[in-house]
């Protein structure tokens, strides 16, 4: 490889040069000796030998060129010169490098997040073949089904639901799948090992681990016969569980642990680092995996959507063709079971995309925004470089006049730009690292794998490539400028102290670009801000302050049925109500924002129309504790018992949507079972159970005392206090343990905290975009200020003449501001067009705000115009204060 030899030789070139010199000297000496032997005088022989040999230095140069050193040497020379000239202008170097570091740093940080979350494959073997499976209700208005379980993914339409286990058998027949498993979170109480704790668990079908492709590190996976009702209870535990709760005991296999009070035998321990798809990148980790063991009852009801599907495609099968064959299966199911399956279709998507979903939208948007910042930084640096090049015009003209070619000049300017880019890249990677720590620290929970964001070769590669590209972009303008220079003209104009027209045109264009780019970012930030404030303005319909909610999940083994659980909570309510500072207590199956339960019902015995409102089982204190006002009739009371007439309270949406605004009081409900009908006794205000982004659904509140026959578990407890609710947590826990010392109290949060967490992601992306827009505007201000300041200092002579001829300072001010105004107006006009084109990609991130929201545009334009004019005012005032005598003397 001549190339490699050339390259290697380059680094030994000094040694090679010395060697050559020695070789040639020897040659001359030997020749001289020969001549002497033939009879010449020693001195003459030496001369003759040297004469005959010729110019050794020229040969050296030739040889240097043969090895290709010349090119490198020139590059090194340019590099050294570049570094030296930059060192001589430390302020200029610092500003350009900092500007670049800011732009590249933001990019590096965002890209490393994108890399961690979206580009790196999931931590399972052959992750591209893993798909997530769900069922989609193609007529979401028809709510003739019940669903529970939290969907694990984010893709799909509003009709997305979990999968009915009964349908899984049919989907397994799909020939595109190598295997289809199902999973669902199933937290359990762990007892018999110190303080009772509630730990994250998952109930999975027996083939779950083989579909993921991860066998247990110790022991075995589940057997098909263990995944049936009534089978021996077995559990597979995570590596973390084994290490932390069992102390890494070598005999952990076959040990028995108590989950929800029931003994489970450990049959497998998972490898270290394994995490279930549901919990990837979350703080919480799944510690135990139980068999799903679907009941025969569940497997008979195709309308009961409960679990998340996870499939592995056969090698070489595409998602699209798998989807086609699934759609065919769904269609045949719809024909076979019209009542339950008519409106449902199984859908799949790549597991990674499904897990990332909306997060990837916002990350792409942020990446786009940070790309704009790099562009702005580039424009700024290009601007600075051009001003500098203008300052060095004299230097380059002299060099050209002395015979320097254009190419070496351009090459030298480009090398200088690349030096700046390289320094900016290094500083940017450093800044990116810092920013990334900040980013992951303030990132809301629920972004899969953001915690693993780090610098890897891909991040470095992107940063370096970006730096190179930016270096070329911002280096091009001044280099091109220099190459256009005509030494005669340049020397003449340099003497006059003004710069060429084309220079000014370039800088004007760059400034306009800068203004328009920052306007795009400002509009984007404005849209997100509008969206966020709209969201914050949404009324929840209940009072969240000074309410604390917690989860008290009573295990079935000790609390076999509804009445047993109800009794526990009755006792707890009485005890807690007596605590000082407590204003109200409530028990429910779920408090708002914490999930719920829905069920099909018929109104007034009309079996032709089934509705599916949300159901809540609550104690009478619920409405007062959450501050939900009564609108008509009465609330639930302690007098409603399992002996008296079953009663319910409904919300306004129920009256509006299901009863067409008739007064609900007195109407009856039943679930199509022989149980006594429920009479509606009151109407309460609508609340947004699912948070600010959720829809208001018809609600039925049942009295917890009357729900023994319903498949509902009381599990949430809430307290309203007159003091800081956090101060009551210990006292409440003590009351719980006074009743049952083995009962864990978990998920303790104030309502305000819960709501805060729910909007955390939006707040995060809004905040980031506002920061980005701020950076962009700051860079734009620097740009405008720089360009105008330079232009004023170039025109100082002209301005001096105007003043001398009697122009008042106001006229000078107006003159400069007019120039600035043109720039700003052009930039804003282009920015509006750009924003219109680019912000449409933000639509998915916006809540009830259109991307064409005029307020966001108006706000952005006004803000940018004001700061830009302020930035222009400083140089304009300097121009207006020009002293004609001083100015003219400079000429």
Binding residues for another protein, rule: CB under 8 A, are 2, 5-6, 9, 19-20, 22-24, 26-27, 30-31, 34, 52-55, 58-59, 62-63, 66-67
Report d(CA 699, CA 617) in Å as an integer. 11
Q: Which residue has the tokens 């003219």?
A: 888
Q: How far is the CB of 44 from another protein (least distance, A)?
A: 18
Complex with another protein: residue 27 or 505, whichever CB lies closer: 27
Complex with another protein: residue 54 or 263, whichever CB lies closer: 54
CA distances from 372 to 101, 519, 698, 800, 889 (A): 14, 10, 45, 39, 44
User: According to the 3-state scheme, what is the secondary structure of 776-798?
Assistant: HHHHHHHHHHHHHHHHHHHCHHH
Q: How far is the CB of 74 from another protein (least distance, A)?
A: 19
Complex with another protein: residue 22 or 456, whichever CB lies closer: 22
Nearest to 237 by CA among 289, 185, 193, 274: 289
DSSP letter for each residue of 523-558? HHHHHHHHHHHHHHH---SS--TTEEEEE----TTT
Complex with another protein: residue 21 or 818, whichever CB lies closer: 21
Q: How far is the CB of 366 from another protein (least distance, A)?
A: 51
Nearest to 275 by CA among 150, 154, 127, 123: 123
- Token code pair at residue 237: 């535990």
Complex with another protein: residue 4 or 441, whichever CB lies closer: 4
Q: How far is the CB of 37 from another protein (least distance, A)?
A: 12
Q: How far is the CB of 35 from another protein (least distance, A)?
A: 12
Q: How far is the CB of 59 from another protein (least distance, A)?
A: 5
Complex with another protein: residue 6 or 74, whichever CB lies closer: 6
Report d(CA 326, CA 308) in Å as an integer. 16
Report d(CA 239, CA 832) in Å as an integer. 55
Complex with another protein: residue 17 or 148, whichever CB lies closer: 17
Complex with another protein: residue 19 or 858, whichever CB lies closer: 19
Complex with another protein: residue 66 or 723, whichever CB lies closer: 66
Q: How far is the CB of 46 from another protein (least distance, A)?
A: 15
Q: How far is the CB of 26 from another protein (least distance, A)?
A: 6
Residues 6+ apart with CB under 8 A from 308: 132, 133, 134, 149, 151, 152, 153, 162, 163, 182, 183, 184, 278
- Work out whether strand 630-633 and strand 177-185 pair parallel, antiparallel, or are unpaired: unpaired
Q: Which residue has the tokens 């920052």?
A: 518
Complex with another protein: residue 5 or 255, whichever CB lies closer: 5
Q: How far is the CB of 2 from another protein (least distance, A)?
A: 6
Nearest to 171 by CA among 331, 369, 367, 338: 331
DSSP letter for each residue of 650-718? EEHHIIIIISTT---TT-EEE-SSSSPPEEEEEEE----TT-TTSPP--EEEEEGGG-TTSS----EEE
Q: Which residue has the tokens 């091109």?
A: 480
Complex with another protein: residue 66 or 328, whichever CB lies closer: 66
Complex with another protein: residue 53 or 847, whichever CB lies closer: 53
Q: How far is the CB of 65 from another protein (least distance, A)?
A: 9
Q: Which residue has the tokens 């000790």?
A: 558
Q: Which residue has the tokens 């349908």?
A: 167
Q: How far is the CB of 29 from another protein (least distance, A)?
A: 8
Complex with another protein: residue 19 or 249, whichever CB lies closer: 19
DSSP letter for each residue of 191-241? ESSSS-EEE-EEEE-TTHHHHHT---SEE----GGGSSTTSPPEEEE-HHI
Q: How far is the CB of 79 from another protein (least distance, A)?
A: 25
Complex with another protein: residue 52 or 502, whichever CB lies closer: 52
Report d(CA 790, CA 390) in Å as an integer. 10
Report d(CA 496, CA 499) in Å as an integer. 9
Q: How far is the CB of 54 from another protein (least distance, A)?
A: 5
Q: How far is the CB of 42 from another protein (least distance, A)?
A: 17
Cα 471 to its chain centre, rounded Å, is: 28
Complex with another protein: residue 63 or 630, whichever CB lies closer: 63
Complex with another protein: residue 25 or 833, whichever CB lies closer: 25
Report d(CA 564, CA 721) in Å as an integer. 27
End-to-end CA separation in angstroms for the chain: 61
Helical axes 165-172 vs 319-336, angle rounded to 10°: 120
Q: How far is the CB of 69 from another protein (least distance, A)?
A: 11
Q: How far is the CB of 408 from another protein (least distance, A)?
A: 25
DSSP letter for each residue of 633-653? E----TT--TTS--EEEEEHH
Q: How far is the CB of 31 from another protein (least distance, A)?
A: 7
Q: How far is the CB of 55 from another protein (least distance, A)?
A: 8
Q: Which long-range contacts (CB under 8 A, 24 or more apart) does 433-442 make?
A: 433/108, 433/109, 434/105, 435/105, 435/106, 435/108, 435/109, 436/108, 436/109, 436/112, 436/113, 439/109, 439/110, 439/113, 439/768, 440/113, 442/764, 442/767
Total length of the chain: 891
Complex with another protein: residue 16 or 226, whichever CB lies closer: 16
Residues 6+ apart with CB under 8 A from 2: none
Count other Cβ atoms within 10 Å, centred on residue 631. Answer: 14
Complex with another protein: residue 36 or 713, whichever CB lies closer: 36
Report d(CA 500, CA 498) in Å as an integer. 7
């Amino acid at each position: 490889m001549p190339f490699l030899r050339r390259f290697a030789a380059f680094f030994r070139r000094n040694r090679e040069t010395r060697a050559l010199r020695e070789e040639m000297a020897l040659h001359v000496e030997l020749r001289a000796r020969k001549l002497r032997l033939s009879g010449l005088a020693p001195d003459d022989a030496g001369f003759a030998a040297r004469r005959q040999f010729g110019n050794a230095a020229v040969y050296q140069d030739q040889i240097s060129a043969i090895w290709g050193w010349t090119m490198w040497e020139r590059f090194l020379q340019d590099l050294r010169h570049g570094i030296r000239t930059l060192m001589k202008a430390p302020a200029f170097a610092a500003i350009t490098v900092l500007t670049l570091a800011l732009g590249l740093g933001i990019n590096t940080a965002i890209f490393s997040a994108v890399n961690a979350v979206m580009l790196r494959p999931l931590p399972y073997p052959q992750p591209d073949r893993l798909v997530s499976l769900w069922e989609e209700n193609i007529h979401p208005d028809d709510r003739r089904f019940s669903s529970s379980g939290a969907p694990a993914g984010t893709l799909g339409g509003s009709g997305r639901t979990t999968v009915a286990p009964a349908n899984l058998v049919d989907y397994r027949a799909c020939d595109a799948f190598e295997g289809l498993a199902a999973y669902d979170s199933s937290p359990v109480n762990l007892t018999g090992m110190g303080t009772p704790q509630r730990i994250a668990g998952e109930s999975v079908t027996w083939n779950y681990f083989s579909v993921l492709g991860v066998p247990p590190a110790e022991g075995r996976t589940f057997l098909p016969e263990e995944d049936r009702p009534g089978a021996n209870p077995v559990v597979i535990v995570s590596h973390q569980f084994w290490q932390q709760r069992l102390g890494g005991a070598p005999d952990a296999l076959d040990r028995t642990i108590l989950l929800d009070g029931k003994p489970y035998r450990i049959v497998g321990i998972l490898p270290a680092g394994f995490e279930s798809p549901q919990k990837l990148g979350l703080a919480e980790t799944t510690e135990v995996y139980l068999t799903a063991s679907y009941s025969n009852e569940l497997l008979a009801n195709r309308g009961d959507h409960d679990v998340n599907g996870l499939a592995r495609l056969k090698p070489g099968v595409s998602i699209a063709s798998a989807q086609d064959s699934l759609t065919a299966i769904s269609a045949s199911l719809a024909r076979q079971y019209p009542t339950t399956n008519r409106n449902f279709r199984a859908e799949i998507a790549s597991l990674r995309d499904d897990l990332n979903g909306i997060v990837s939208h916002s990350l792409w948007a942020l990446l786009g925004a940070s790309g704009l910042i790099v562009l702005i930084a580039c424009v700024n640096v290009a601007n600075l470089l051009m001003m500098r090049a203008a300052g060095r015009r004299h230097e380059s003209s002299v060099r050209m006049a002395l015979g320097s070619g254009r190419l070496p000049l351009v090459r030298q300017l480009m090398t200088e730009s690349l030096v700046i880019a390289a320094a900016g890249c290094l500083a940017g990677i450093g800044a990116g690292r810092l920013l990334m720590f900040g980013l992951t620290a303030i990132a809301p929970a629920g972004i899969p794998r953001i915690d693993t964001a780090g610098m890897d070769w891909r991040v470095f590669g992107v940063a370096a490539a970006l730096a190179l590209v930016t270096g070329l972009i911002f280096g091009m303008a001044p280099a091109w400028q220099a190459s256009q220079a005509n030494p005669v003209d340049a020397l003449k104009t340099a003497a006059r102290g003004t710069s060429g027209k084309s220079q000014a045109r370039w800088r004007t264009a760059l400034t306009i670009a800068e203004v328009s780019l920052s306007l795009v970012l400002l509009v984007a930030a404005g849209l997100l801000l509008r969206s966020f404030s709209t969201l914050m303005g949404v009324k929840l319909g209940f009072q969240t302050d000074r309410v604390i909610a917690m989860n008290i999940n009573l295990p079935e083994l000790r609390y076999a049925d509804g009445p047993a659980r109800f009794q526990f909570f009755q006792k707890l309510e009485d005890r807690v109500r007596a605590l000082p500072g407590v204003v109200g207590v409530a028990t429910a199956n779920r408090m708002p924002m914490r999930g719920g339960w829905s069920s099909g019902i018929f109104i007034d015995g009309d079996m032709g129309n089934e509705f599916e409102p949300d159901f809540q089982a609550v104690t009478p204190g619920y409405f007062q504790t959450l501050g939900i006002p009564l609108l008509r009739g009465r609330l639930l009371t302690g007098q409603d018992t399992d002996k008296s007439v079953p009663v319910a309270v409904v919300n306004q949406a129920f009256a509006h949507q299901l009863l067409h605004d008739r007064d609900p009081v007195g109407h009856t409900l039943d679930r199509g079972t022989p149980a006594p009908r429920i009479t509606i006794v009151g109407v309460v205000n609508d609340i947004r159970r699912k948070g600010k982004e959720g829809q208001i659904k018809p609600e039925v509140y049942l009295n917890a005392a009357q729900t023994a026959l319903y498949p509902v578990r009381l599990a949430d407890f809430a307290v309203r206090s007159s003091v800081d609710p956090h101060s009551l947590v210990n006292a409440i826990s003590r009351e719980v343990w006074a009743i049952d010392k083995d009962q864990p109290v978990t998920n303790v949060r104030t309502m305000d905290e819960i709501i805060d967490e729910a909007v955390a992601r939006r707040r995060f992306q809004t905040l980031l975009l506002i920061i980005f827009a701020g950076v962009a505007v700051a860079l734009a201000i620097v740009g405008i200020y720089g360009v105008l300041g330079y232009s004023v200092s170039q025109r100082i002579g002209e301005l001096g003449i105007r003043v001398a001829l009697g122009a008042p300072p106001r006229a000078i001010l107006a003159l400069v501001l007019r120039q600035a105004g043109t720039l700003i107006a052009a930039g804003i006009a282009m920015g509006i067009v750009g924003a219109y084109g680019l912000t449409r990609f933000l639509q998915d991130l916006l809540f009830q705000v259109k991307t064409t929201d005029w307020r966001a545009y108006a706000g952005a334009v006004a803000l940018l115009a004001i700061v830009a004019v302020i930035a222009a005012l400083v140089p304009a005032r300097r121009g207006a204060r020009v002293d004609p005598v001083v100015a003219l003397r400079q000429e």
